[in-house]
């Protein structure tokens, strides 16, 4: 994972990004991801307190709160940055794009896996909440302010409270939710 790769991902996804220098210096979402990476390194190298400390300083400076125990893939981009919360047991795949106000949280205080797993190439709209140990498949779009509390397959388009998959189904396609 490299800073150059991260900057290139922002350039691809954000039409307002004018230069690599601007992204490096001014994009709080990127700063949040880079702070997470340092905190995660500390967390996985037996410095859990320091990892949590770095994550809290990063949160204070950027508005992006990613627990150092979370697992984040390559090229995560966070547009606008403010209000992002990613819990300790969350797993985020490669090429995921989050807008402001997204929460990957838990539904119950229990030990073990409590946070969502997001596949690759997922976009999560502003204000969306994904709760519990659910899985959201690759190439899914989660609409703004959707609340996801159950797992969905790859290629879903999720909107509403609670979220429902609204993608167009071919006439001969089996409805997986009625099985």
CA distance 103 to 66: 10
Hey, which CATH number is domain 3-165, 2.120.10.30, 2.160.10.10, 3.40.50.300, 3.20.20.70?
Answer: 2.160.10.10
pLDDT digits (tens, 9 = 90+) for 49-101: 999 999 999 999 999 999 999 999 999 999 988 999 999 999 999 999 999 99
In percent, the amount of the chain with pLDDT more than 90 equals 84
Burial track 7-41 (b if 16+ CB lie within 10 A, e otherwise): bebbbeebeebeeeeebbeebbbbbbbbbbbebbe
Tokens 């989050």 correspond to: 98
The pLDDT, as a whole number, for residue 109 is 79
Read off the pTM.
Answer: 0.87
Is 107:131 a contact under the CB 8 Å cutoff? yes
The yes-or-no verdict on residue 172 having pLDDT over 80 is no
């Amino acid at each position: 994972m490299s800073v150059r790769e991260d900057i290139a991902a922002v350039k691809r996804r954000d039409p307002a990004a004018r230069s690599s220098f601007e992204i490096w210096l001014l994009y709080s979402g990127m700063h949040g991801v880079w702070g997470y990476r340092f905190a995660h390194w500390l967390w996985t190298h037996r410095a859990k307190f320091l990892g949590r400390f770095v994550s809290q300083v990063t949160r204070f400076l950027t508005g992006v709160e990613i627990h150092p125990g979370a697992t984040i893939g390559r090229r995560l981009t966070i547009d606008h940055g403010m209000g992002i919360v990613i819990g300790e047991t969350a797993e985020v795949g490669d090429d995921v794009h989050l807008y402001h106000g997204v929460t990957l949280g838990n539904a119950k205080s229990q030990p073990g896996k409590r946070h969502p797993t997001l596949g690759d190439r997922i976009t999560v709209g502003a204000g969306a909440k994904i709760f519990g140990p659910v899985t959201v498949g690759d190439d899914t779009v989660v609409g703004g302010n959707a609340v996801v509390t159950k797992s969905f397959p790859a290629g879903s388009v999720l909107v509403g409270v609670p979220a429902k998959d609204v993608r167009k189904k071919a006439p001969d396609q089996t409805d997986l939710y009625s099985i």
